[in-house]
A and B are shown apart, each in its own frame.
Chain A
Amino acid sequence: MPPFRDDQIFIIAPGSETTLAQLGLPESFTPARYRLRSRMFRAEKAGEYEPIKIRRKEKAPPAPTPAPTAPVNGLAPAPNGAGSKPETTAPNDDDEWEEDRVSEEGAVWPIRGGKVVDWPCFYALMTHVYNYVNPPFHTPILLVSQPVWTPKEHEKVTQFFFEKFKVPAFTMVDSAMAASYAYGLTTATVVDVGLSKADITCISDSVLQDIGRSIAVPDCGGEAMTERLMELLNLRKGFTREVCEQLKKSNICEVLPSDFDIPTNDSVGGDAHSANPAAAASTGADGVPPGKRKQSVVADLPRGPGPNTQVGEEKKLEDEEGVLDIASIVTGGNMSEYLAQKEREKQEKAAARQAKKAGTAGAAAARIIRLPNNKRTRNTFVYEDFALHDAMKKAGMSNQNMADMQSAMDFDSSGGTGPNAAKRQKTPEPQSAVSDKPPPDAELLASPGSNGSGFRREIEVGPERFQAASGGILDRLADAIHRTIQSCIDVHRRSELWENLVVVGNGAKVRGFKEALVEVLMRKFLVSPSSATMFVSELPSRMSTPGGTGTSTPLPLSHHGGGGVNPLLLAATTAQNPGLLHPGGVSSSASASASGLLAPQQHPHSMHSSHAQTPTSIKLAKIPEYFPEWKEVGYEEAQFLGAQVAGRVLFVVDPAASGGAGGGGSKGYMSRTDYNEQGPGGVHEVCL
């Protein structure tokens, strides 16, 4: 009888920006059901935190508030879960306070760079996640831990979960380990590109290599790319951090291979000043190997829309007014003028559109074949202006005002551009900028109007959008990967590590990022077969490349085999994906104890000796595509998938039924009894 059932397992994966959670494991694993922003707001009472920003209303509306509350409560799936929380002030009870589900102003982010920087707030966040998901009493928790957490901090977290939530069982799985389970690999290099850092971990024979592991490499995450975009776009007015952030998350932001020509269009004269300096400064040009490895780039690229087309004209218009700081207009008290101006424009445009319609219908039909993003000079994305929302809220604007504003903005995006914009929405590149909000949140944000979402506008960007990763982030990351693998103690595994790169993390979500990273690695580190050895026939091939097939790889030492690997987990993860395993891996794990005894005698001194230089090949690992839901959203959060695998194996699979591989020692979680006996320190026995 297994101690727990699938539907009881509660998985939490805290991250610097987003915390993932799920209660219960479905038959086919799905991406995390709950995605919560990893932030809390300081409550009125010091030392306490609220999940939702609560702001004081500047002036109480004369009428007893039907208008403000209705839209707020009308949100169907309460995105931040406060609807069920008793401690949040219901707006009806107190006129002075108002919940603001959109604004993140003044939020406290307890996790920075994976590290918990504010423990009380972290505890509050975990409590919020727990209460929001609201699991029943008999619920074991599996926490995906960040590599940067120290053993001491593991104990701290364990203690918190046992004593605050009285959980019946608890375990932690390292984020890199979890990613390797998702991929079904026992030997892999996991590159986790996060918000402001990257972690690089070698896993060799299911043992995480602490030595040489690159933890929290700074300036290698998504934030570095946002900052690079800001740097490139700061010549243009209005490109704030938030705009750049959303640009990065949008589909038009891409990382192109170094030898890819960034499309330029000189015919659009009006914005040459903005496009050119950035293009010149890009490293897209600086790393091109001279005349080599040119991939089949279309030599004469079809250029972007010309100035005489409808698109061209529209864009010019957008460019002039597209990103101006509306928030400052509003706070400056000029809102009514702005609205009036917008109204005028709307009428003018409507008239113009009427006039044009007949003339351009044919032209529009001719341009149905859209160019892919990387061949277009300019492209647009939809920006959601939370700053404006904040500004208006703060100014105490009524919802009517906000609705007015929204409709004015709508003119900009869909209304104003008319058929053109509608068509753009259907281009191969979906335009939604909202990418990492949770599905329930996304629902909320996608709903138009003033019911809490930010204001949406379309913003056009030039070739800068291809240069998000040009600030040296790829070089830094590549160097760290090289360093990590080359310092892996298990020398024989290095070539295998190079061939099983697992790139996860939402920072790697930018289109083309992974491919570009592999390209940089190959360019800098790949060792080509030496022409000098071609004729040296005496050199036995297995001498130089033992790791490639795994056949001549020595079996692991006993302390490796028995130390950190949970045999159950190993069996389960390898059985899940036998195709990817080399035969050596299976046999070594199956007979870990037996072979561990033999191995030192078979290879008395030469564990490290016979190998050649690595890497001779660099490859991204392929993930087994069992789960359709995961396939749809991509595997950037594969750690969570791995955590689900681990959760099922550790909590559900009955140790007795699977042959008692490790006897009593194979338990992968800590029960309440264990905790009472061993204290928080006992978590080191079980956590992976």
Chain B
Amino acid sequence: MTSVPPQIPLKEEYGGDEINALVLDPGSHSIRAGFAGEDTPKSVVPTHYGVLSSGHHVYGENAIHIPNADMEIRNPYNTDGLVEDWDTAAKMWEYSITSRLTGARQTPPSRNGLNVVKDGEGDVEMETDETSKAKAETEKMEEEERDRALAEYPLLMTEPAWNPVKAREKTMEVAMEEWDVPAFFLAKTGQLAAYGNGKATALVVDVGHYNTSVTALWEGMVLRKSTTHSPLASSFLSDQIRRMFTTTTPPVPLTPYYLIASKIPVDAGHPASATYTNFSSPPSPSFRRFEEDRVLTAFKESVVSAWPGPGRLEANLEAVKLTPPRPFEMPDGWNNVFGAERYKVVEGLFDTKAAYPPPPSSTSSSSPSQSQYTPKSDDSIPSMIHRSVNACDVDARPALLGNIILTGAGSLIEKLPERLQSDVQAMFPNPRVRVIAAGGSVERKFGAWIGGSVLASLGTFHQMWISREEYAEFGAGLVERRCK
């Protein structure tokens, strides 16, 4: 019985000239990866990772949600949305590709301990010359195969518009030297999100996790001086919700799911009556915060809404009172309705003066997880758009304002597109303002990835790749000249 895998047919044999490229869109909240030409990324892994006390890193949803006393949750990105911990980031990027796309780098079966002959006395496998030779051969094959995991596909990666030159070169080095990719290209997220929406000229507003960015695009090219970004994004919104919870009377308890063994229904506003899980050594605060974010995500999805306008929230408090409040139940069973609060937490994105202030420093010691960030009025989304548009040529402005593309998972907050439309309209009364927000959440969550998928599968794009040979000749500096 021969079990040697058959020869892989050569590319020419089945005549495919299409290049099956990989698209990798790393973000500070999740890393999206998939094959070019598909409509959603097949692999979406969280950017947060666990560090065990042994120093070992664990990646992926399955590992990081298990309450474990000696695990810290960390993120290789800084709050500016740029990579800080390159070693970890590179490993996670690789993990996102190998875990679900190409097959993981695994320990060969001969050494992974699963196939060890267990008995000590009986049929001990005699290691003859022949078997050991064959073993070495298969190991060599396996090793080669693992090295080829990433070396087979051209790779298109995304980067934020404000990515410094050093980081761009470093990204290319990782791809070329650690992964050995045959061809590489780096594109800006704003650019790709516009391509994903079928626009070459647009003003892209990308509400991400740590950052909201505004990028102006003219006929496919990013207008560098126009790009702005600010930390008024999802993570800021989470902090706003946390602040809202602590400032209401009585404060809203935020207990993550892992602490609850069981809950029983209680009346709205009454203290929770739940059985808690007992941990002999409780998980770290970073883990708690990470798990709290899961609850906040549910809160954002089902309760939080932007005030649709026209006008600011404070000018419409009467109208707000007429809208029905929304209920929310915490993991411990505590529940209540949220009326004006559900608009107020978002208001900071548009009107920084209306944001909840950071908690006074006396209480912040009890909740060190809350950041002390106070938004500046320049940071709000409308004022960023204002700055960005004003940095562009006068002739270009009408085209940009007519094509404001709203993307990013943070933009999925209810009524956010309507509010943006009305605020920008008020700011630029003259030209026609149109905010384009894709209807489906998939298109907005993975806007940049989808654009990358479109771009990398275009026949004309093939001339743009930086090949391994070019890299070998010119070095990492090439990225500045080629990927604009």
Contact = CB atoms under 8 A, between A and B. Distances in A.
B327 interface: yes
A214 B61 contact: yes
A533 interface: yes
Contacts of B99: 150
Contacts of B8: 159
Contact of B123 (A106, A163, A606, A681): A106
Contact of B62 (A216, A524, A532): A216
Interface stretch (B344-352, B380-388, B438-446): B438-446
Give the interface residue-count category, chain B: 35 or more
A55 interface: yes
Nearest to B18: A681
B412 interface: yes
B264 to A, nearest CB: 5
B305 to A, nearest CB: 8
Nearest to A120: B3
A336 interface: no
A211 interface: yes
Contacts of B5: 119-120, 123, 156, 159-160
Interface in B12-40: 13-16, 20, 35, 39-40
Given A211-B40, A530-B268, A613-B329, A117 B122 contact: no
A563 B38 CA distance: 9
A605 interface: yes
Contact of A527 (B101, B134, B329): B329
Interface stretch (A2-10, A46-54, A509-517): A46-54
Given A119-B5, A159-B9, A211-B41, 13 more contacts: A47-B3, A87-B1, A117-B112, A121-B109, A152-B103, A287-B262, A390-B122, A394-B122, A479-B65, A479-B257, A486-B294, A491-B301, A613-B302
A583 interface: no
A613 B106 contact: no
A603 B439 contact: yes
Contacts of A215: 62, 100
Report the 3 A-B pairs with minimum CB-CB distance, sorted nearest first: A532-B268, A46-B134, A679-B14
A524 B114 contact: no
Contact of A117 (B4, B35, B114, B327): B114
B476 to A, nearest CB: 28
B337 interface: yes
B100 A613 contact: no
A341 interface: no
Interface string A35-51: 00000001101111110
Interface of A: 42-43, 45-50, 55-56, 87, 105-106, 108-110, 112, 115, 117-121, 123-124, 127-128, 150-153, 156, 159-160, 163-164, 210-212, 214-218, 258, 286-290, 292-293, 331, 390, 394, 476, 479-480, 482-483, 486, 489, 491, 523-525, 527-528, 530-533, 536, 538-539, 557, 559-560, 563, 599-600, 603-613, 676-681
Contact of B3 (A112, A121, A211, A528): A121
A532 B123 contact: no
Contacts of B44: 210-212
Contacts, number: 228
23 contacts: A46-B130, A48-B3, A105-B119, A120-B5, A123-B3, A153-B103, A211-B44, A479-B258, A483-B61, A483-B65, A525-B331, A527-B329, A528-B329, A530-B268, A532-B327, A532-B336, A533-B327, A536-B337, A559-B442, A605-B439, A607-B440, A609-B414, A612-B327
Given A480-B62, A523-B263, A606-B414, A117 B106 contact: yes
Contact of A109 (B3, B115, B278): B115
A608 B263 contact: no
Interface in B234-263: 257-258, 260-263
A607 B414 CA distance: 9
B329 A151 contact: no
A42 B125 contact: yes
Interface of B: 1-6, 8-9, 13-16, 20, 35, 39-44, 61-62, 65-66, 98-103, 106, 109, 112, 114-115, 117-119, 121-123, 125, 130-131, 133-135, 138, 149, 257-258, 260-265, 267-269, 275, 278, 294, 297-298, 301-302, 305, 324-329, 331, 333, 335-337, 412, 414-415, 417-418, 437, 439-442, 445
A566 B149 CA distance: 30
Contacts of A108: 109, 115
B437 A112 contact: no
A524 B135 CA distance: 50
Contact of B114 (A109, A163, A216, A258): A109
Contacts of A288: 275
B6 A608 contact: no
Given A489-B441, A491-B301, A151 B101 contact: yes
Contacts of A210: 40, 42-44, 100
B16 A49 contact: no
B126 to A, nearest CB: 10
A528 B305 CA distance: 22
Chain A CB within 10 Å — which of B40, B99, B298, B336 has the most? Answer: B40
Contacts of A559: 39, 440, 442
Nearest to A48: B1
Contact of A528 (B14, B265, B418): B265
Given A151-B42, A290-B275, A608 B441 contact: yes
A537 B445 CA distance: 34
Chain A CB within 10 Å — which of B3, B42, B327, B415 has the most? Answer: B3
Contacts of B260: 524
